[in-house]
Amino acid sequence: MATHAQTGSRSSDITYVIRDGVRHGRLEDLETGRQVRRKFTQKDVNDGRIVYVINDHSMSTNDSFVFRVQDQRHNILDDQRSVYFIGTTTNLQLVCG
């Protein structure tokens, strides 16, 4: 999928749809304080609103989720995986790329 600059899509029009969620933590929207269960936008990521939070009891050192990326022009990139490597912090910035 091309970047929003290449497609002419605004970052708020690029949506990440979660197809298989994280197992050892959760995605959270810092602005609302709520867990992200279904979707978020590229604008949310750019604004630093979406973070990964590991469960307190988790012994895992990594986690991932599967998602679809789509825009208003019906460009779709399906079955993408974002992987987190968990260190000493419990709150990691989401980086999708």
Q: What local confidence, expressed as pLDDT, does residue 38 receive?
A: 94
Q: What local confidence, expressed as pLDDT, does residue 69 receive?
A: 92
Q: What local confidence, expressed as pLDDT, does residue 50 receive?
A: 86
Q: What local confidence, expressed as pLDDT, does residue 51 receive?
A: 84
Q: State whether the Cα torsion 59-93-85-76 is positive or negative.
A: positive
- pLDDT tens across the length of the chain (97 residues): 444 445 578 999 999 999 998 888 888 899 999 999 999 999 998 888 888 888 888 888 888 888 999 999 989 999 888 876 665 333 444 444 4
DSSP H helices, 8-86, are 42-46
Q: Give the type of residue at 33.
A: G
Indicate whether this model's pTM tops 0.85: no
